[in-house]
Amino acid sequence: MTPTGIDLRGIVEKITEFIRTSVENANAKGAILGLSGGIDSSVTAFLSAQALGNENVLGILLPEKGITKEDDIHDALRIVKKLGIEHKVIEISRILDVLESAIPNYDPDERVCNGNLKARIRMCILYYYANLLNRLVIGSGNRTEILLGYTTKYGDAGVDILPLGELYKTQVRALAMYLGVPKQIIRKAPSAGLWIGQTDEEEFGSSYESVDAILTKRIDEGKGYVTIEKELNISGEVVKRILQRVEENKHKRETAPTPKIWID
């Protein structure tokens, strides 16, 4: 799905105003954001710097030795230089090693559990600096990731605001080109970078273009499985798998439930 008819200028104005107002309403002094070298965090950095001024944005790189690609680190530093924002590089391997040694029955082969642990370590570091400097943590999750539950609870989903939360991944790409994000960042295969060789689209079993097209038909247009399959010429199995993820991960989009004690 190629986004057409999108008012990119208007989107930038709305998002930057949202960031600025959110920071002001919280009586905060600026923004903290994690920089991965990927498209989402890069776009978020561009918008945050435009909204708040580069002097009020701190980008934190949180690589893991042996896992994070050198190219991703270089791309993140390229964004730092291009925007003129302050930054820190904090390698998380030593923290992870301590937790591994302290957690009984820690299993290094539990890839998903360990990946989530890394995401939560990064969240803790971002919030340490947010508390220290009286700033908000700006998340970089997009609408596709949020709907699919492609986030870690209290990890990368643990943020104060989500400026890209109303934009599908393909729309974020269009916005990245509009903002002037370096092309090598826009073109690279999206990855959470939690283990070697991991890519978003491989985990989905579909391209972002297909996923966004399915989500648009279902979420925005309210169409059923059979109609989506016919209109997009995508197998019913793929449509079912994607929409099943949306339903199964609903809990990630909601606050923790509480019992209805005072209601008969």
- Give the residue with greater pLDDT, 205 vs 15: 15
Mean pLDDT along residues 206-220: 92
Mean pLDDT along residues 116-143: 97
What is the rounded CA–CA span in Å between residue 185 and residue 37? 7
Mean pLDDT along residues 196-222: 85
Q: How many domains is the chain partitioned into structurally?
A: 2
Q: Are 209 and 185 contained in the same domain?
A: no
Which tokens go with 213?
Answer: 């097209």
Q: Which domain holds residue 239?
A: 205-256
Paired strand residues for 86: 58
CA R_g for the chain:
19
Instruction: Say yes or no to pLDDT of 212 above 50.
Output: yes
1 three-class SS: coil
Residue 93 sits in a domain of what CATH number? 3.40.50.620
Q: Is residue 18 part of a domain?
A: yes
* CA-based nearest residue to 114, from 133, 99, 134: 99
**142, 164 contact by CB (below 8 A):** yes
Instruction: Say yes or no to pLDDT of 1 above 50.
Output: no
Instruction: Say yes or no to pLDDT of 3 above 60.
Output: no
Q: Are 156 and 220 contained in the same domain?
A: no
**61, 90 contact by CB (below 8 A):** yes
**87, 216 contact by CB (below 8 A):** no
Q: Are 221 and 94 contained in the same domain?
A: no
Q: Which of 132, 159, 190 is the last residue of a domain?
A: 190
Q: Are 65 and 185 contained in the same domain?
A: yes
